[in-house]
């Protein structure tokens, strides 16, 4: 059967959920420059040139360079006002890209030394999310992520705090940084704490490491979503397992290319995973460093992989279904996706529903 030819509906007006966006990485480049000037932080040329830095993280030096740039950018966030600005602007960017729900991921320990400690940092972040959601109309929540480069006991502390704030907007618990380091099972107790507290398990896997890291997320951490997960495409049995279990992969095409996981956008296995029935939620990962936001990921699916508008709509539905958005927001977004597909001009004028 011939595949439907891609059409020209505006992907920025396609309602979608954004489930893979890192906190510092969501910053606008101009905001980084202003905050660096305000706080006297010297930025390397890679962060001031106006072009995404060349980052190949598939070797140790490349990953170290990526982490160094990220850490420098994070050091520019020093006050509650900085946090509020970052979250508000991230929400504004998402609304412009058609997002109706954003789950922003953050490791609060990275900001705690400048914001008065771990608990004040979490509360500052959650207050900023609440305010930005109210002011922009974007539904928002937080995924608190542990750093796999730190001790598993630190992850358990974070998991307990994440559960403590589950009624304030924390919906998930993640595990980030280089999955080539450490073992997923070292963090199984932290994820058990989070799961027992009702939080979604969403660790990173299958980005810099192969299919085995995705299996570890499933077997050891009982992942309900996997950050990235694209390397699962190398193992047909694993693809079947993901499809049959309904575990969603948070796929970030521009990030995969920028970090050297794949050589070009056409190499990212979007079509392989989609046709295998693996649910996907496209995400921007770190727009500050990779140079593209949410709608651009749907553009990659269309331009580099020939996704039709009907298939793009299904990708958007999968992102909504995998989210922790309240049911009324999910229902509204799914209806708006149908409206986008039914309208050759590109669907509803505003994709973002009021925050619930």
For residue 96, give its domain range: 11-26+82-342
In CATH, what number is assigned to the domain containing residue 225? 3.20.20.140
d(CA 244, CA 235): 14
d(CA 56, CA 58): 6
Return the structure tokens found at 201: 């398990």
Q: Could you tell me if residue 60 is inside a domain?
A: no
Q: Could you tell me if residue 33 is inside a domain?
A: no
CA angle 64, 257, 232 (to 5 degrees): 95
Q: Could you tell me if residue 36 is inside a domain?
A: no
Supply the pLDDT for residue 348: 57
Q: Could you tell me if residue 349 is inside a domain?
A: no
For residue 182, count CB atoms less than 10 angstroms from its CB and return exposed for 0-12, middle for 13-18, buried for 19 or more: middle
CB neighbour burial string for 125-149, b if at least 16 within 10 angstroms, e if fewer: bbbbbeebbeebebbbbbbbbbbbe
- For the chain, the straight-line distance linking the first and the last C-alpha, in angstroms and rounded, comes to 42
d(CA 13, CA 290): 22
Number of domains forming the structure of the chain: 1
Q: Could you tell me if residue 184 is inside a domain?
A: yes
Give the number of other Cβ atoms within 10 Å of residue 60's Cβ.
Answer: 10
> Beta strands of the chain (E only): which ranges?
16-22, 99-106, 139-147, 170-176, 200-205, 225-228, 248-250
The partner residues of 101 in beta bridges, in order of sequence, read 17, 139
Supply the pLDDT for residue 347: 59
123: Cβ contacts below 8 Å, ≥ 6 apart: none
Instruction: State the catalytic residue, choosing from 179, 207, 224, 311.
Output: 207
Low-confidence ranges of the chain (pLDDT < 50): 1-2, 5-6, 349-356
Supply the pLDDT for residue 58: 62
Supply the pLDDT for residue 143: 98
Supply the pLDDT for residue 52: 72
For residue 314, count CB atoms less than 10 angstroms from its CB and return exposed for 0-12, middle for 13-18, buried for 19 or more: middle
Q: What are 37-56's pLDDT values in tens digits? A: 999 999 999 898 877 766 66
Q: Which of 109, 125, 126 is nearest to 117 (CA)?
A: 109
- Helix (H), strand (E) at residue 33: helix 29-39
Measured N-to-C along each axis, helices 118-136 and 152-164 cross at an angle, to the nearest 10 degrees, of 50
Q: Could you tell me if residue 65 is inside a domain?
A: no
Q: Which of 189, 300, 204 is nearest to 250 (CA)?
A: 204
Q: Rounded to two decimals, what is the model's pTM?
A: 0.93
d(CA 184, CA 11): 36
Residue 224 falls in the annotated catalytic set: no
Q: Could you tell me if residue 304 is inside a domain?
A: yes
Measured N-to-C along each axis, helices 188-196 and 152-164 cross at an angle, to the nearest 10 degrees, of 10
Q: Could you tell me if residue 96 is inside a domain?
A: yes
- DSSP-derived secondary structure for 153-166: HHHHHHHHHHHHTG
Return the structure tokens found at 1: 């059967």
Supply the pLDDT for residue 164: 98
Return the structure tokens found at 48: 């001031």
CB neighbour burial string for 218-245, b if at least 16 within 10 angstroms, e if fewer: bebbebbbbbbbbbbbebeebbebbbee
- What single-letter DSSP state applies at residue 46? G
């Amino acid at each position: 059967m011939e595949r439907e030819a891609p059409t020209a509906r505006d992907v920025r007006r396609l309602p979608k959920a954004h489930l893979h966006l890192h906190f510092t990485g969501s910053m606008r480049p101009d905001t980084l420059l202003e905050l660096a000037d305000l706080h006297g932080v010297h930025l390397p040329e890679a962060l001031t040139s106006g072009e995404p830095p060349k980052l190949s993280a598939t070797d140790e030096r490349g990953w170290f360079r990526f982490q160094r740039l990220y850490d420098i950018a994070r050091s520019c966030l020093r006050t509650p006002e900085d946090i509020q600005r970052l979250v508000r602007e991230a929400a504004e960017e998402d609304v412009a890209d058609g997002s109706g729900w954003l789950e922003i991921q953050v490791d609060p320990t990275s900001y705690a030394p400048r914001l008065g400690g771990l608990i004040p940092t979490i509360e500052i972040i959650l207050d900023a999310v609440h305010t930005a959601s109210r002011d922009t109309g974007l539904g928002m929540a937080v995924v608190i992520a542990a750093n796999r480069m730190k001790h598993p006991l630190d992850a358990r502390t974070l998991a307990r705090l994440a559960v403590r704030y589950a009624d304030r907007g924390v919906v998930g618990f993640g595990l980030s940084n280089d999955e080539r380091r450490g073992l997923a099972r070292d963090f199984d107790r932290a994820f058990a704490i989070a799961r027992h507290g009702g939080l979604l398990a969403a660790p990173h896997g299958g980005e810099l490491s192969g299919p085995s890291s995705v299996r570890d997320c499933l077997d050891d951490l009982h992942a309900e979503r996997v950050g990235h997960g694209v390397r699962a495409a190398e193992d047909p049995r694993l693809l079947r397992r993901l499809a049959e279990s309904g575990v969603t992969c948070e796929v970030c095409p521009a990030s995969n290319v920028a970090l050297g996981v794949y050589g070009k956008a056409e190499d990212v296995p979007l079509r392989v995973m989609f046709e295998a029935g693996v649910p996907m939620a496209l995400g921007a990962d770190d727009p500050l460093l990779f140079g593209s936001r949410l709608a651009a990921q749907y553009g990659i699916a269309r331009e580099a992989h020939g996704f039709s508008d009907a298939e793009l709509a299904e990708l958007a539905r999968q992102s909504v279904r995998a989210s922790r958005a309240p049911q009324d927001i999910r229902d509204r977004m799914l209806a708006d996706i149908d409206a986008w597909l039914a309208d050759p001009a590109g669907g509803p004028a505003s994709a973002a529903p009021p925050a619930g």
